[in-house]
């Protein structure tokens, strides 16, 4: 796994587009120079759009393609804060409010040194289609900062979050824009952000953020939802092929929020996760990852994966800088970050007999990797479908906040399972209806796009 997020393979695939779509893309290139991640995310959608506009010429007349690629609003702001020694730091904050056609802008905040305008914009763009696929009333947005919480004290993280929210609070609200977590933003950060929002506005407005702690307005299952949802999506893909996760060896990259709960649900569904990773190395544990130990190390102690390997005993080995995709498996779940699995990694997985790959992370597979999986007839689920369980459960949290209610874990998980089945069916059936059975990339993009586009048509030229 590379710790550098952008590789040349991160560029769009370059498959030809029709003349009109090529013009849309040229405008995009001119307006967003060098923004590789954003350009690839849009190109992936444009590449499957041709048959849609043939069936729906009114989309073209209404300028929908041009509008859907341009964020409604982009906010960039300064975040000054001081560390424990009194030294001043200045970070950059972002919130890209991409589309509010289906509901308030909705999407996470990422705190990581690699965050820049292209990354936030690509994540916001993907979020629009992902959120549409959930069938819930949520638009799409994303935000974050190039602040890295790793190695910072709680007090430093709190001061940073308070400064970040001092600016962000003017732009968000339970009916306007509802952030949540993402890389580097978990319950600790959300707590400090919510506390500052509450102080600045003098309102206990629970629905302004999701992913909150249970005692201060959070919902059951939100913490688990992305990883659980990803495992359920894989189970559905395998079911359509007459098989299941039971008895399979699975590799999950990352060891953060998404990865931990993907590991847990795969095990509950009868699979065995034999490896996970972080940006420093890989843990190979052929006896099966001990998820309780993983939670203790990563969530409670905020320690590194080396601590897991030391305490797990002889079954586990830690390989600094190791290559997780070289470990044999039949199901692979990339759950760390963008562009972590390239064409060569995909070829290795195909050689080792992988039958299903689902993106727990956002855009972890390069365009070349996706093509390799599709050519080898591997069931491949793009992130906007496979990891949509997180944001869908955020929408359930918003529902509970709006009605001042709280649901049980069991009931909420049932809702999540139902939502993931519906997303799978929408992708699967749309792909078949457009003559590309089994192509979940095409199915997800077209199903998401048509939901957003139909709402935009109804709302007029805004
Ligand atoms: P966390 O911060 O909890 O965990 C991120 C994990 O990925 C860590 O193990 C981290 O290792 C690893 N990682 C981060 N950057 C890199 C890198 N450059 N190279 C290699 N490994 C890296 O984040 P989440 O689990 O919340 O998010 C993971 C992915 O899932 C992201 O793509 C996110 O956008 C996506 N996602 C998250 C959702 C959510 O609800 N949280 C919902 C849907 C998608 P280390 O500690 O060494 O940095
Ligand atoms: O990428 C994502 O879907 C998230 N980080 C979760 C967004 C949310 O609002 O729950």
Q: What is the pLDDT along the chain (462 residues), one digit of tens a residue?
A: 333 333 346 556 667 778 888 999 999 999 999 999 999 999 999 998 889 998 999 999 999 999 999 999 999 999 999 999 999 999 999 999 999 999 999 999 999 999 999 999 999 999 999 999 999 999 999 999 999 999 999 999 999 999 999 999 999 999 999 999 999 999 999 999 999 999 999 999 999 999 999 999 999 999 999 999 999 999 999 999 999 999 999 999 999 999 999 999 999 999 999 999 999 999 999 999 999 999 999 999 999 999 999 999 898 999 999 999 999 999 999 999 999 999 999 999 999 999 999 999 999 999 999 999 999 999 999 999 999 999 999 999 999 999 999 999 999 999 999 999 999 999 999 999 999 999 999 999 999 999 999 999 999 999
Give the contacts of 432 (CB within 8 A, at least 6 positions apart). 443
**Tokens at 178, concatenated:** 């509802």
Helix (H, G, I), strand (E, B) or coil at 73: strand
Query: pLDDT at position 11, please?
Result: 57
Q: Which residue has the tokens 């498959």?
A: 15
Distance CA 352, CA 329 (A): 7
Residue nearest to atom 9 of ligand 2 (CA): 107
Residue nearest to atom 47 of ligand 1 (CA): 279
Query: pLDDT at position 4, please?
Result: 36
Helices (H), 14-55: 19-31, 36-55
Q: What is the CA radius of gyration of the chain?
A: 21
How many CB atoms neighbour CB 151 within 10 A? 7
Distance CA 398, CA 395 (A): 5
Instruction: Compute CA 316 distance to the chain's CA centroid, rounded to the nearest angstrom.
Output: 28
Residues involved in catalysis? 142
Helix (H, G, I), strand (E, B) or coil at 253: strand
| Residue 131 CA, closest ligand 2 atom number | 3
Output the pTM of the full model.
0.96
Distance 113 CA to ligand 1 centre (A): 13
Query: pLDDT at position 327, please?
Result: 98
Residue nearest to atom 42 of ligand 1 (CA): 390
Contact of 99 with 131, CB cutoff 8 Å = no
Nearest ligand to the C-alpha atom of residue 129: 2
């Amino acid at each position: 796994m590379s710790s550098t997020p952008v590789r040349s393979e991160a560029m769009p695939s370059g498959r030809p587009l029709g003349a009109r779509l090529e013009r849309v893309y040229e405008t995009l290139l001119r307006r967003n120079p060098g923004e590789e991640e954003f350009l690839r995310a849009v190109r992936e959608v444009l590449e499957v759009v041709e048959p849609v506009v043939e069936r729906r010429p009114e989309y073209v007349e209404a300028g929908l393609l041009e509008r859907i690629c341009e964020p409604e609003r982009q906010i960039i702001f300064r975040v000054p804060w001081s560390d424990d020694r009194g030294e001043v730091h200045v970070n950059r904050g972002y919130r890209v409010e991409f589309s509010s056609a289906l509901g308030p802008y909705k999407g996470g905040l990422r705190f990581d040194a690699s965050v820049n305008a292209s990354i936030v914009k690509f994540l916001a763009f993907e979020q629009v289609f992902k959120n549409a696929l959930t069938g819930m009333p949520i638009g799409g947005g994303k935000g974050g900062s190039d602040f890295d919480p790793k190695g910072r004290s709680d007090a430093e993280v709190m001061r940073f979050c308070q400064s970040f929210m001092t600016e962000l609070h003017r732009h968000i609200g339970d009916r306007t824009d509802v952030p949540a977590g993402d890389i580097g933003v978990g319950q600790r950060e959300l707590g400090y952000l919510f506390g500052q929002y509450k102080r600045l506005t003098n309102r206990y407005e629970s629905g302004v953020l999701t992913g909150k702690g249970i005692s201060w307005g959070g919902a059951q299952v939100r913490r688990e939802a992305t990883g659980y949802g990803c495992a359920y999506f894989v189970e559905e893909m395998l079911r359509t092929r007459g098989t299941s996760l039971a008895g399979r060896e699975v590799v999950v990259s990352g060891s953060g929020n998404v990865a931990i709960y993907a590991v847990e649900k795969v095990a509950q569904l009868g699979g065995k996760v034999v490896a996970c990773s972080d940006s420093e190395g890989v843990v190979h544990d052929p006896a099966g990852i001990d998820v309780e130990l993983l939670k203790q190390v990563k969530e409670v102690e905020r320690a590194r994966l080396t601590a897991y390997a030391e305490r797990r005993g002889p079954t586990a080995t830690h390989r600094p800088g190791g290559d997780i995709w070289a470990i044999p498996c039949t199901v692979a779940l990339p759950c760390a970050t963008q562009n972590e699995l390239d064409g060569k990694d995909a070829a290795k997985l195909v050689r080792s007999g992988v039958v299903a790959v689902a993106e727990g992370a956002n855009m972890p597979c390069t365009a070349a990797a996706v093509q390799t999986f599709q050519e080898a007839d591997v069931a491949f689920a793009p992130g906007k479908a496979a990891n949509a369980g997180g944001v869908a459960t955020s929408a359930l949290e918003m529902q509970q906040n709006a009605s001042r209610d709280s649901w049980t874990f069991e009931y909420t998980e049932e809702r999540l399972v139902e939502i993931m089945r519906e997303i799978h069916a929408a992708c699967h059936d749309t792909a078949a209806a457009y003559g590309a059975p089994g192509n979940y990339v095409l199915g997800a993009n077209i199903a998401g796009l048509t939901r957003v586009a139909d709402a935009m048509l109804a709302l007029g030229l805004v």
